[in-house]
Amino acid sequence: MIKDLIKDLQKLANPQKAKILLRFFKTGKGEYGEGDIFLGITVPMQRKIAKEFINLSSKEIQQLLNSEIHEYRLTALIILVLKFKKAEEKEKKQIFDFYLKNTKNINNWDLVDLSAPNIVGAYLLDKDRSHLNYFAKSKNLWERRIAILSTFTFIRKNQFQDTLRVTKIIKDKNDLIQKAVGWMLREVGKRNQEIEEEFLKKYCKQMGRTALRYAIEKFSNKKRRYYLG
């Protein structure tokens, strides 16, 4: 079955698009996506293929996640998200555990953003969330992004404390993490600006400039000037 999936993905390969993605996802030496290989396939096409192969086994999904080809890993994660949404509690736990064992393969921002809220966040919605503290303190860039992006699920349920807690733990100079932190704070503010501002008044001086700019993007000019000042 996995051979058919790979064959379908390879048919959609677009070398010109792949060249653009190599630059967009910073795959050069010393960059965050160093060594990543792209086929140049759009996400909607990967979603379509993932739906056709939702019954792929864990072993086959693991094969895809182990691949250096970005689209193989992304398609595998889309399949996991689809499986998770349909799963009973026992299988959800298995998918959650499987995901945690594969964080080394979830190693670019789009892979994290697509999967972390829909698997980690969704699983922890009615459970203890202290596991996110571990990821927030991780030396692994992508695990730190998983920590903050997983809270997007809670934000959508108007539960903001985990986002604020993780933000305080993550003291990160990395641009990708700062953008993610600022984005999640902005999402909190969309639903309750008072809570976001209460947090910013206490911690804005400790935040990175990029995170702060993202967090206050929707504020009035006057308020933006106040926090940036």
Render pLDDT for 74-120 as a digit per residue (tens, 0 to 9).
Answer: 999 999 999 999 999 999 999 999 999 999 999 999 999 999 999 99
Which tens digits make up the pLDDT trace of 160-171? 999 999 999 998
Say if residue 29 is in the same domain as residue 93.
yes
> pLDDT tens digits, residue range 181-225?
999 999 999 999 999 999 999 999 989 999 999 999 999 999 999
**Is position 67 within any domain?**
yes
Strand pairing partners for 69? 37
CATH of the domain at 85: 1.25.10.90
pLDDT at 25: 87
Cβ pair 149, 109 in contact under 8 A: no
80 domain residue, yes or no: yes
186: containing domain: 128-229
Q: Which of 75, 107, 139 represents a domain boundary (last residue)? A: 107
Q: Note the helical H segments in the chain.
A: 2-11, 15-24, 43-52, 58-65, 70-86, 89-101, 109-116, 122-124, 131-136, 141-150, 152-156, 161-169, 175-191, 193-203, 209-215, 221-228
Q: Which residues of 104-137 are buried (b: 16+ CB within 10 A; e: fewer)?
A: ebbbbbbbbbbbbbbbbbbbbeeeebebbeebbe
161/17 Cα distance (integer angstroms):
40
Domain assignment present for residue 112? The answer is no
DSSP assignment string, 187-202:
HHHHH-HHHHHHHHHH
Q: What is the mean pLDDT of the chain?
A: 95
- % of the chain at pLDDT higher than 90: 89
